[in-house]
Amino acid sequence: MRNAAIGLILMLAGMGVLRAEGKPEVNLVFLGLAGYSELSPSGEVVGRGVEMVERIFAEAGYPIRKSILPPARIWRGLENGSIHAWPGIFNKPGLIEHTIQTERDLGYVGINLYYLPGRAPPVWPDDLRNGSVITITNYTYTEELRNLLADPSRNLAILRSNSHTGAVKMLRQGRGDYLLDYRSQVQSALGSLEMEPLPWVPVVELPMRLLLSRHSGFAEQLKQDLDEAFDRLKARDAQMEVNL
């Protein structure tokens, strides 16, 4: 009886070690961005950004489950905990209370102001006054940009498109004076439309980090492990920045 009890204690202790050492699978999602994170013909999530983020999770010892989702589904997943991590920018109102972010920058995301070829380069933001600006539905930009676009003294007409390709078409058709959009998304849209590059002026460069849902149950430990993994990889001279 005593030997059976000892055996049970040892078995439970062993299970405890496994639970302590084992790390949970992370539901990791990406936005679809050509070259950075996209689906291969076989349906696998691939790209330069995917490879870099995979290295960080592998170094930290976490198994991952990858997928590509649209912005609205990513926000909802981070808010309810069904999505654990997303490499992106911390600019969505309402996400602050539901997420924490890693300390290390994964690269920078550029937002540009695009205009039609043949026109003089606009002066940002003064030349927007009394004009029209095309923006993308469900893309949040930054609080500063949102306030600027909503400033009544600028008398701006804000036009919206449900897609980046649609926004590029709107600008090309002269249905707006300017397009305010993410650099990588416009490059992808121009490629899919087989259009020549649009002239642009830079507006802002935003640091990209891993946003972690507070509702996963392991966000704080995950943050620490990912930052430490990033530092180890960086110390080994790994390429740890992919700009968009």
Give the percent of the chain with pLDDT over 70. 91
Asked whether residue 17 is domain-assigned, the answer is: no
Q: Which two tokens stand for residue 109?
A: 């995301």
CA 179, CA 115: separation in Å to the nearest integer?
Answer: 7
Q: Both 68 and 127 in a single domain?
A: no
CA 61, CA 22: separation in Å to the nearest integer?
Answer: 9
Mean pLDDT of the chain: 90
Query: Which amino acid would we find at residue 180?
Result: L
Query: Which amino acid would we find at residue 31?
Result: L
Find out whether 89 and 206 touch, Cβ atoms under 8 Å.
yes
- Identify the H or E element spanning 183: helix 183-193
CA 86, CA 57: separation in Å to the nearest integer?
Answer: 12
Asked whether residue 7 is domain-assigned, the answer is: no
Q: Both 44 and 58 in a single domain?
A: yes
- Identify the H or E element spanning 13: helix 2-21
Q: Which two tokens stand for residue 102?
A: 């890693």
Q: Both 115 and 151 in a single domain?
A: yes
Q: Compare 180 and 4 and report the one with higher pLDDT.
A: 180
Q: Both 174 and 227 in a single domain?
A: no
Q: Mind listing the pLDDT tens digit for each residue in 47-81?
A: 999 999 999 999 999 999 999 999 889 999 999 99
Taking residues 113-133, what's their average pLDDT?
96
Find out whether 162 and 83 touch, Cβ atoms under 8 Å.
no
pTM equals: 0.81
Taking residues 111-133, what's their average pLDDT?
96
Find out whether 230 and 56 touch, Cβ atoms under 8 Å.
yes
Asked whether residue 9 is domain-assigned, the answer is: no
Q: Both 216 and 195 in a single domain?
A: no
Domain holding 141, by residue range, is 109-205
Asked whether residue 95 is domain-assigned, the answer is: yes
Query: What CATH number is associated with residue 211?
Result: 3.40.190.10
Q: Both 30 and 101 in a single domain?
A: yes
Total domain count, the chain: 2
Q: Both 134 and 196 in a single domain?
A: yes
Asked whether residue 70 is domain-assigned, the answer is: yes
CA 13, CA 2: separation in Å to the nearest integer?
Answer: 16
pLDDT of residue 138: 78
pLDDT of residue 21: 55
Tokens 């530092």 belong to residue: 231
Taking 80 as the threshold, does the pLDDT of residue 7 lie above it? no
Taking 90 as the threshold, does the pLDDT of residue 223 lie above it? yes
pLDDT of residue 12: 39
